[in-house]
Structure 1
Amino acid sequence: MELRDYIRILQKSWILIAIVLLLGVGAAAAYSILQTPKYSSSAKVFVSTSAGSTVSELQQGNTFTQQRVKTYADLVTTPIVLLPVISELGLDLSSDQLARMVTASAPLDTTLIEITVVSADNAESARIATSISESLTRVVEEVEAPADQTASSPVKLTLVQHASVSQSPVSPNVPINLALGALGGLALGIGLAVLRETLDNRIRNERDVALITEVPILGGIVFDPKARERPLIVHADPRSPRSESFRTLRTNLQFLDIGREDRSFVITSSIESEGKSTSAANLAIALADSGLRVLLIDADLRRPKLHEYMGLEGAVGLTDLLIGTAEPQDVIQPWGKQDLFILPAGKIPPNPSELLGSEALNKLVVEFNGAFDVVLFDAPPLLPVTDAAILARVVGGTIVVCAAGKTHKNQLKGAFTALQNVDAPVSGVVLTMLPTKGPDAYGYGRYGYGYGYGDIDSKAVPAGG
């Protein structure tokens, strides 16, 4: 992934990251509340040796003392020091349990030993630290005592600082716990966001399509929650941004397949419910509004919908032409005040694929190309059935509709593979259902259109029977 991909993930998943961050802070706070406060008390012991009479003897004595200090610090947590303390204070602890409460340190280049005790009772921690210091002095005096009982020990330990009763607990450290909880929650949230994005195999934007195919992207249609209520948006609201996107698609369509004389295209998709039928209908209206003579054919002989969208009778249509029971002038119906004509699917046949691959369809395509400026075929999805692939090979141009956030990348790849297997050319891709907000939003501003931009001369034309 590139840097912009991570930025996009952060923009897209900031709510998830924020929730996990708050959960991390909450967990740290709960942990801090449930923990028993512990207090720390420290006592200091000074280690000295008998003074010498010369500089050399003093130097040797100082070196000897510093070497001994670390040994005495390690001696603090041994039973020989701790057992007398347990007996003296009447502690209900073993020497191992007490040792886990005690730490001893010897600062570098000093002859001091700092004995620290951490306990849930602040007064108890102070008593234990002082008692251990006193026990250590006695043990060292006994250990370092010379064999000659008449001589005194050359090493002397002196308790120079009694442990004081601490008023503030050393744990839990609430600020640090909260900071660690926030950092942990932030890291986990970002990790979950990246994982979710990595596992998400859906097409989200133009860049995802570009990673799959080099076929040009003809345009994008934003998501409209009222699309079911007003499928013919170019007719219902010609000034809306969504209508403008179909006019942009109309303009781009004029530059497709410049070397091909026929301007007929199959409009299909990978799976169902990607908006191919509504896209075909709105594109046909936009083309007719520009003065072109347009024929829109419902070639979905399994689940035809165009006659419902256009408000026409669909009892007869393409099926009747293919089996020879009707003539084009009998079943093609005009729509609106422009040169837009609709050919419904007609009755649903038992063999749609065979009809669409028949010689009769080849003759109809040639006839329609000669009679109309643009011919659009609304075909079934490519993955469930082979109808669209068969039709695309005959027609010679294919526009694949892809729904952002719905179509998976492998589904779009499969659609292109289905077309390649029959040597059907792909003219372009149209993205539908693009979000209007968020990092994947499809913005009209980059094309120089304001939200209310529309064709001032455009008039909504009534549907004709």
Structure 2
Amino acid sequence: METAFSLQDLLTTIRKHWFLVLCCTVIASAAAAITSYYLLTPIYPAETQILVNQKSSSNIEQYQWAQNNETDLRLINTYNVIIKSPVILSKVIEKLELDKTLESLAGQITVSSANNSQVVNIVVMDKQASQAVKISNTLADVFKKEIPILMNVDNIEILSVAKLIDNPKPVKPNKLLNIIGGTVGGLMVGIILAFLLEFLDTRFKSEHEIEGILNLSIIGLVGAIALEKETNKPMKSRRVRRN
């Protein structure tokens, strides 16, 4: 026996258990809002940009300039690794007197560069906006000073420094997105629970359900029969008068 499930059945189930669905949606939405506003710690970003470009004289030949430019592009991938290396991060921790391990500090740093671009972006995430700015700028400064020693090249310039602005906005958590996700999740949980309750209820609720399951036409209905309660009172004999 197979039972067909239609959109009408879906809407009927939701209407029948609308209060359960509403409660799950409201509770999940409220939980997401409370978590986003009061429990999760805000994370602030700070970005510093460095330029990888070898210094050259004005009378340098064109092919030599192109060769230097190609060399800088090949070095960028290496620089991206060196920026987050212990030799650089240890000096940043020492200079700022940070109470962090190398691993935790490396987890706060994101280094990226666009294809064929000589600009490297250093983004630092921290619970304090001012601390993120300090780490980002110090990291770029330490890297610029150490790279000539490590690579025997002097091709780093700080293009832009991170700045602390008034009323900085955190990038995490995304409160609106969390609330929307909680609302949708609560709605789905409520609908699933409604269907679970509906499927666990094996009683026939209408003659149409019986007709659909047995695939038989209904030829008649039996109305409700009211049963009298039994009493312990003796039955009185009735006399019938004859005319």
Aligned to 2:241: none
Which segments of 5 or more consecutive residues in structure 2 lack a partner in the other structure? 239-243
CA RMSD of aligned residues (A): 2.6
1:14 aligns with 2:18: yes
**Partner amino acid, structure 2, of 1:12:** K
Specify whether residues 205 and 142 from structure 1 end up closer, same or farther in structure 2 by C-alpha distance, changes over 3 A only: farther
User: Offset of 1:97 from its aligned partner?
Assistant: 1.4
Deviations 1:185-213 (A, max 9, x none): 12222222222222221212333111333
User: Offset of 1:43 from its aligned partner?
Assistant: 0.8
Aligned to 2:98: 91
Specify whether residues 13 and 61 from structure 1 end up closer, same or farther in structure 2 by C-alpha distance, changes over 3 A only: farther
Aligned to 2:138: 131
33, 36, 51: which is aligned to 2:41?
Answer: 36
Aligned to 1:277: 225
User: Offset of 1:108 from its aligned partner?
Assistant: 2.6
Which segments of 5 or more consecutive residues in structure 1 lack a partner in the other structure? 146-152, 220-266, 268-274, 279-304, 317-329, 331-465
Secondary structure in structure 1 of the residue aligned to 2:80: helix
Specify whether residues 204 and 99 from structure 1 end up closer, same or farther in structure 2 by C-alpha distance, changes over 3 A only: same
1:68 aligns with 2:75: yes
CA contact (8 A) 1:23 1:185 kept: yes
Determine the C-alpha separation between the residues in 2 that align with 1:24 and 1:190.
Answer: 13
Specify whether residues 209 and 46 from structure 1 end up closer, same or farther in structure 2 by C-alpha distance, changes over 3 A only: same
TM-score calculated relative to the size of structure 1: 0.45
Determine the C-alpha separation between the residues in 2 that align with 1:14 and 1:187.
Answer: 12
Specify whether residues 64 and 4 from structure 1 end up closer, same or farther in structure 2 by C-alpha distance, changes over 3 A only: farther
User: Offset of 1:128 from its aligned partner?
Assistant: 0.6
User: Offset of 1:315 from its aligned partner?
Assistant: 5.3
User: Offset of 1:66 from its aligned partner?
Assistant: 2.1
Determine the C-alpha separation between the residues in 1 that align with 2:199 and 2:10.
Answer: 11
Determine the C-alpha separation between the residues in 2 that align with 1:190 and 1:58.
Answer: 66
1:79 aligns with 2:83: no
Determine the C-alpha separation between the residues in 1 that align with 2:205 and 2:67.
Answer: 78
Determine the C-alpha separation between the residues in 1 that align with 2:56 and 2:191.
Answer: 64
Determine the C-alpha separation between the residues in 2 that align with 1:140 and 1:25.
Answer: 50
Q: How many pairs does the alignment contain?
A: 225
Deviations 1:212-241 (A, max 9, x none): 33151635xxxxxxxxxxxxxxxxxxxxxx
User: Identity over aligned residues, as a percent?
Assistant: 24
Aligned to 2:199: 198
Specify whether residues 90 and 217 from structure 1 end up closer, same or farther in structure 2 by C-alpha distance, changes over 3 A only: farther
Q: Work out which of the two has the higher radius of gyration on C-alpha atoms and give 1 or 2.
A: 1
Secondary structure in structure 1 of the residue aligned to 2:203: coil
Determine the C-alpha separation between the residues in 1 that align with 2:207 and 2:19.
Answer: 24
| Bigger fraction of residues in helix | 2
CA contact (8 A) 1:206 1:217 kept: no
Specify whether residues 210 and 314 from structure 1 end up closer, same or farther in structure 2 by C-alpha distance, changes over 3 A only: farther
Aligned to 1:184: 185
User: Offset of 1:50 from its aligned partner?
Assistant: 4.5
**Partner amino acid, structure 1, of 2:13:** I
TM-score calculated relative to the size of structure 2: 0.82
Residues 231-246 of structure 1: pairs in structure 2 closer than 5 A: none
Specify whether residues 99 and 11 from structure 1 end up closer, same or farther in structure 2 by C-alpha distance, changes over 3 A only: same
User: Offset of 1:26 from its aligned partner?
Assistant: 1.0
User: Offset of 1:137 from its aligned partner?
Assistant: 1.5
Specify whether residues 15 and 67 from structure 1 end up closer, same or farther in structure 2 by C-alpha distance, changes over 3 A only: farther
Aligned to 1:409: none
Determine the C-alpha separation between the residues in 1 that align with 2:77 and 2:49.
Answer: 14
User: Offset of 1:84 from its aligned partner?
Assistant: 0.4
Aligned to 1:3: 7
Determine the C-alpha separation between the residues in 1 that align with 2:197 and 2:148.
Answer: 67
Aligned to 2:157: 158
Secondary structure in structure 2 of the residue aligned to 1:63: helix
Determine the C-alpha separation between the residues in 2 that align with 1:71 and 1:314.
Answer: 106
Secondary structure in structure 2 of the residue aligned to 1:117: strand
User: Offset of 1:72 from its aligned partner?
Assistant: 1.2
User: Offset of 1:62 from its aligned partner?
Assistant: 2.5
Determine the C-alpha separation between the residues in 2 that align with 1:38 and 1:184.
Answer: 25
CA contact (8 A) 1:51 1:61 kept: no
1:47 aligns with 2:63: no
112, 128, 131: which is aligned to 1:121?
Answer: 128
Specify whether residues 88 and 206 from structure 1 end up closer, same or farther in structure 2 by C-alpha distance, changes over 3 A only: same
CA contact (8 A) 1:50 1:61 kept: no
